[in-house]
Amino acid sequence: MHIHYFQHAPFEGPGCITNWAASHQHQLTHTRWYESTDATALAAADWLIVLGGPMAVYEQDQLPWMTTEIALIRDAIQQNKKVLGICLGAQLIAAAMGANVYPHTLKEIGWFPLDLSFQAQAAPLENILPHHFNTFHFHGDTFDVPAGATRFAASAACSHQAFIYGDRVIGLQFHMEFTPEIIDSLLLHCANDISAGGAFVQSEEKIRQHMNLLEANNETMYRLLDYIAAL
């Protein structure tokens, strides 16, 4: 299988997705928007993964490549490719589907519990994802659920944490793909977001105290990737 991913920051890569793809002998190509706008490899791909990043969907006037990216995501959905978005990636999918993306009233940074419900289109995910688990969050924006999609996850800070459209388009606001190296990089490059504090912003010390949760999160991510790959 050919998987193409969109990356938005050098310090926020695909994480454990790389290991999963290699172990299944899937071809992995990329567009790193901070380096190049060449996305020609996407045309031959079966699956598009849109990663996170520190920028915002509503900053397209400052980031002209983002308008191109949103159009490519919309095309991928219309072409019935598998599409998975993570954090900013989920917001970009929502925008590509015509939903609003905007600053949330709260920033959510650190390890916080997630509640999942598996209704309607999300029903097949019930045997893939836990009903409740602690996962990593790093976002200050949120999105409206796109028309025709089903919301299936919420946290205390943010009610729109995940959605599914049909069976091939999934948006996740949280990060199960992160590795210790990515969290180290985020703590370095996004230190100001953490030092600003907030009701749902954990300190660097507290974030590091829960790094042992990464393994279980990665295993959950692998199950989700296996499920999508089999579609």
Name the phi and psi angles at 109, rounded to 5.
-135, 120
* Global confidence as pTM: 0.98
**Residue 6, phi then psi, degrees to nearest 5:** -100, 125
Other Cβ atoms less than 10 A from the Cβ of 25: the count is: 7
Identify the residue whose tokens are 């029903």: 123
| Helix or strand (DSSP H, E) at 215 | helix 214-229
Return averaged pLDDT per consecutive 10 residues of the chain, 231 residues in all: 99 98 98 98 99 98 97 99 99 99 98 97 96 98 98 98 98 99 97 95 98 99 98 97
Give dist(CA 46, CA 80) in Å, integer.
9
Can you give the pLDDT at residue 21? 99
pLDDT at 43: 98
| Distinct helix (H) and strand (E) counts, the chain | 7, 9
- Which strands sit side by side in the sheet containing 101-116, from one edge to the other? 27-32, 2-7, 47-50, 82-86, 169-172, 162-165, 150-154, 101-116, 132-143
Position 140 scores a pLDDT of 97
Q: Please tell me the predicted confidence (pLDDT) of residue 82.
A: 99
What domains are defined for the chain? 2-229 (3.40.50.880)
Distance CA 70, CA 35 (A): 17
Q: Tell me, what DSSP letter sits at residue 163? A: E
